[in-house]
Amino acid sequence: MNQSTTPVTLALFCKVVDNYGDIGICWRLARQLVREHAIAVTLWVDDLKSFARICPQVDTQATVQHVDGVAVYHWRDQEGTYRAEDVADIVIEFFAVDIPPGYVTAMAQRAARPVWLNLEGLTAEEWVEGCHTLPSMHPRLPLTKHFFFPGFTGKTGGLLREVDLLERRDRFQQDAGGIAAFLGGLGLAPAEQRACKVSLFCYPHAPVAGLFDAWRRGGAPLACLVPEGVAKDEVRAFLGAEPVAGASRTQGMLTVRVLPFVPQADYDPLLWACDVNIVRGEDSFVRAQWANRPFAWHIYPQDDNLHHKKLRAFISRYCPDIEPLERFALAFNGVTEPAGDDWLPLWQAFSGAFESLACRSANWQKAVLANGDLASNLLTFAASVR
Amino acid sequence: MKPAKEIRVGNIIMVDAKPFIVLRSDVNGSSRTGFTYKWKMKNLLTNAPLENVFRGDDKFDVVVLDKKPVTYSYYADPLYVFMDEEYNQFEIEEENLGDALNYLKDGMECEAVFYDGKAISVELPTTIVRQIVYSEPAVKGNTSGNVLKEAKIENAIESKQHTVQVPLFVSQDDSIEIDTRTNEYKRVIRN
């Protein structure tokens, strides 16, 4: 795709429904397409404030700006007329957002029709394989969209992964001095650095108070690193103070430390430096898999508990034989309840399985790597339907 | 205009100004954007089969075709024969029956759909009652609402015997109500 002198153009439409997952994934994909594939990317995003939290260079007032080689347009509304020349070669609607009708009309007017993709959410459910890359004809216009599903098998689009990610990770994880400097930079005292370090990134309904109680009573020192704004109420209760970046307190075996909300680019080293990661949503969930550390997933809640199905589907692919992780993950996501409302036995069983999980993680990565990466797979597919 | 989530097997929709019959619809949970509808369709002008996916809120023009109440009569290889109240017979190709084949039963009431004067498919009622002809016994003590087992339902065609996921408490010989739009169990009917 990047052989011609004129770069392929790609427009990515992102609507932030809540949190940072939507823009997190789109931003990661956009940057990778520019850096590794020389694609001219335009990112249309409706919420620049959320974007600025994960990418501080973003000007929240600008209608158009260039960040890291990506043209960022503030997507204000569905109005506007567009010309065929305004339409990119590849148009991606992320998570089935409605592209402005004027833009869709212009897509149909373009002499060479654009490749139109709906990039869907990540799930390990089997049905995705049957829908990946299937067409979706427009009911009235001579346009065909294709559904593109990220996933964990060769019959899906794969996972987002930058070409140098694993090399950077390995370098970091083999550099004890570098890790100490990184953790020191986050304010961790030497005792916290020696403790079992858990990064905690979860939705507000997570059972954090119960987990804190278990960690406090646990048999070994544990440092919980939580970004500012996450699990606010529970962290405030533990600290007995406002959970601002830099705040920390030790009770029993547990130290809770509030970290600044780091830009997306700085999140990986945190995952790499911790012994266990609790992650949420889709983007950090994938990063935790690449971190090669034991992790538990706090999944985005959906109506009718559809997310329980998605969680079980992932567990049955990832570790059907490592029951402590399954039990911990199900309880952490509210599918089950810990016996006697005590999280300590669940945590102890989970931490006792870290060795098996380390093995599993290595094998899992090998298998997932064989599917290529999402950005490359997406461009290969786009080229096949152009 | 009807959203994809309201379109049923047997409906004729217009896509890019061409009439398509929906032969099979698989509904799958997806992201927060709702469900994904995977349809097997057939172009009524060319007979070309096609598989497409749609979002639940994608809107289509549904072609209103003549319909007539009929009952399933018999199978005359390779056609399925239906009969109306005046004993007129209508033959429909197997591939046009789509998921209706899963529920075919002698004397079954449904509506034949006509395009250009020819019967091209049947539409089933939204819900249908069928008896379970085989299912494993329930495992005692396993009462979780999420646990399902397979149950074969009665069907006029041996080779088309269809399986529905039912809760554990449902037994062989029970009659169950099935939603024909989703092919899902709705409830057990016991006197």
Tell me what ipTM this predicted complex has. Answer: 0.85
* DSSP-assigned letters across all residues of A313-379: HHHHHH-TT-HHHHHHHHHHTTSS--GGG--HHHHHHHHHTHHHHHHHHHHHHHHHHTT-BHHHHHH
- For residue B79, what are the β-bridge partners? B76, B93
B56-82 pLDDT per residue, tens: 989 999 988 889 999 999 999 889 999
**Do B67-123 and B127-189 come out as alike in CATH topology?**
yes
Question: Can you give the residue ranges of every domain in chain B?
Answer: 2-63, 67-123, 127-189
**% residues pLDDT > 70 (chain A):** 99
Q: Which of A249, A270, A254, A257 is nearest to A231 (CA)?
A: A257
Residue with tokens 């080689």: A69
CATH number of B127-189: 2.40.50.140
State the average pLDDT for chain A: 94
Rounded to whole angstroms, how far apart are CA atoms B150 and B132?
10
Query: Which residue in B38, B58, B60 is closest to A131 by CB distance?
Result: B38
Contact residues on chain B for A15, CB-CB shorter than 8 A: none
pLDDT score recorded for residue A386:
83
Assign domain B67-123 to a CATH class. Answer: mainly beta
pLDDT of residue A2: 47
Sorted by where each starts, the structural domains of chain A and their CATH numbers stand as 9-159+371-385 (no CATH), 164-369 (3.40.50.2000)
- Check A121 against B31: CB less than 8 A apart: yes
For the question of residue A373 being annotated catalytic, the response is no
CATH topology of domain B2-63: SH3 type barrels. (2.30.30)
Which residues in A201-253 belong to E strands, given as ranges?
A: 222-227, 248-251
Mean pLDDT (10-residue bins), chain B, 191 residues: 90 89 85 81 86 93 91 91 94 86 90 87 89 82 67 80 88 91 86 67
Does A171 reach chain B within 8 Å, measured CB to CB? no
pLDDT for A33-48, tens place per residue? 999 999 999 999 999 9
CB-neighbour burial class of residue B139 (10 A; exposed 0-12, middle 13-18, buried 19+):
exposed
- Helix, strand, coil shares, percent, chain B, to 5: 10, 55, 40
Residue A190 contacts B where some CB pair is shorter than 8 Å: no
Closest CA to B111 of B80, B69, B83, B64: B69
**Chain B residues with beta carbon closer than 8 angstroms to that of A140:** 16-17
Q: Determine how β-strand A222-227 pairs with β-strand A90-94.
A: unpaired
B160-188 residue pLDDT tens: 778 899 998 888 999 999 988 778 899 99
Q: Per-residue pLDDT averaged across A375-381, rounded?
A: 97
pLDDT digits 0-9 by tens, A219-251: 999 999 999 999 999 999 999 999 999 999 999
Residue A76, pLDDT above cutoff 70? yes
Residue A186 scores a pLDDT above 70:
yes
A22 has catalytic annotation: yes
Instruction: Verify whether the Cβ–Cβ distance A306 to B29 is below 8 Å.
Output: yes
**How sure is the predictor about A190, in pLDDT bands with cuts at 50, 70 and 90?**
very high
Note the pLDDT tens digit of each residue in A146-175. 999 999 999 999 999 999 999 999 999 999
Mean pLDDT across A69-79: 96
Enumerate the residues of chain A whose CB falls inside 8 A of the CB of residue B36.
Answer: 120, 131, 147
Indicate the pTM of the whole model. Answer: 0.83
Q: Is B30 close to A121, i.e. CB distance below 8 A?
A: yes
Helix A165-173, helix A283-291: angle, nearest 10: 60
